[in-house]
Amino acid sequence: MGPRVPGVSRSGVFVSRVGPWAYVFRMVCLLVGTVFLMATAVILWRDGWSSLLYVGFLDLYAVVSIMIGLGFSAPSSLTLVQRNEPWQVEIRRRFRSDKTFPLASLSGLLEVRDRAVSSGTTVGYSTGTPSWELTFPGESWIITLEDHMGFLEYLANVCESSNHRLTQNLKHQLGLIRRGVPL
């Protein structure tokens, strides 16, 4: 296994942090959802459309299980955008609502980004490495968390000085990463 370097993402491809138990949980959810969908097909084939109400509840469980299974490996992205004058930090996770937080300034973030992303970066994306997708104005980067924790810590400090809710969320995420908890 070679050195872990961040990859540059121009297409939005993202590799999320998923531990072994997360894979097991995801596979179980997908399996349960698939079994429920197959049971729905068998019941409709056997009993006809008269059992549609009963089958509807079974389908609901199937869809929820499949969404949980897919969502557990969902990407997390952090986007810096400028709306009107103030900078905004957007956090997005699949199957969860977007959150936008105001950021007083962007000073220092681009410099830290340039230091975090080494010159040996490969085009494409890194696989199997805990990552966040960081979208800066006009470009998108994949930052690996294990090698570039300093960037997110710096971002948390900047957010803390800007005094908004992102600080608590980001510090919580960093704490989970340090303890090896899948995001």
Whole-number Å distance between alpha carbons of 162 and 101: 10
The confidence score (pLDDT) of residue 153 equals 64
pLDDT of 30: 84
Helix (H, G, I), strand (E, B) or coil at 138: coil
Residue in the block written with tokens 């956090």 = 91
CA distances to 15, 38, 134 from 12, rounded to whole Å, are 10, 33, 10
27-36: pLDDT as tens digits: 888 888 889 8
According to the model, what pLDDT value does residue 93 have?
Answer: 52
What is the model's pLDDT at position 89?
A: 55
User: What residues in the chain have per-residue pLDDT under 70?
Assistant: 1-23, 70-183
| Count of residues in the chain | 183
